[in-house]
Structure 1
């Protein structure tokens, strides 16, 4: 009972809710085959909390998680959301203690999330007319005096 109270205090979404949110984002434009992009899909039931599908076009089988950073993970989706939400706020040690997972597991997951999210992040595309003001910012005078004295002497 104590562990359940801790999880509720940490604001970790329950598994069903987390998967519903994930599906809503992943399949916002409808379930499509990750291999051929076909929308001609047949539902094949559930595997754990993930829905399974078959493509009527190319015949491949896939799930909600196929081809995502969440695929093949042994940590519940709600906990992965919690980790993603807190990577910049809490240490790996604290996350591992709160979620009762090994430090190595959380560290590996955090590293994978950071690598994948950084790789796929795109700089915003600017279009039309863009105005940028110049701004010079002094970072301080430390080292400037010493440098000037060296040149004078």
Structure 2
């Protein structure tokens, strides 16, 4: 499972001209389920996301987690994180099937919420417009294969 995590001042997802999810300060989490991923990777990823110490403390150091600051998470499915870019046209054959991708994407989102974090979501499989203000900027790549 892969995730691209961005610390944001705000973020939202729009589908068909309607906002489907939005947050203030917190994390925008793009999630890609890979072939062979299980619930265990989802639990690991959710725990990692909520405990990443990428928010500033009183001294200005990145030393506080999403849980510490009481931030929210906007969780968005993004199969393109599975891109294989050997040529000029990316391939996505290592991404999980849509049914399995949706099931485990929802699993990750639920486990983030299970830590007491307010979670908003994109719409799985939809053509989404994502808006964000990346604070820092801070962007972190997570991959359960390298955990």
Instruction: Give the greater-gyration-radius structure (CA).
Output: 1
Class of the TM-score when normalised by the shorter of the 2 chains = under 0.3
Provide the TM-score with structure 2 as the length reference.
0.24
Provide the TM-score with structure 1 as the length reference.
0.24
Q: Which has the higher helix share?
A: 1
**Greater relative contact order structure (CA < 8 Å, 6+ sep):** 2
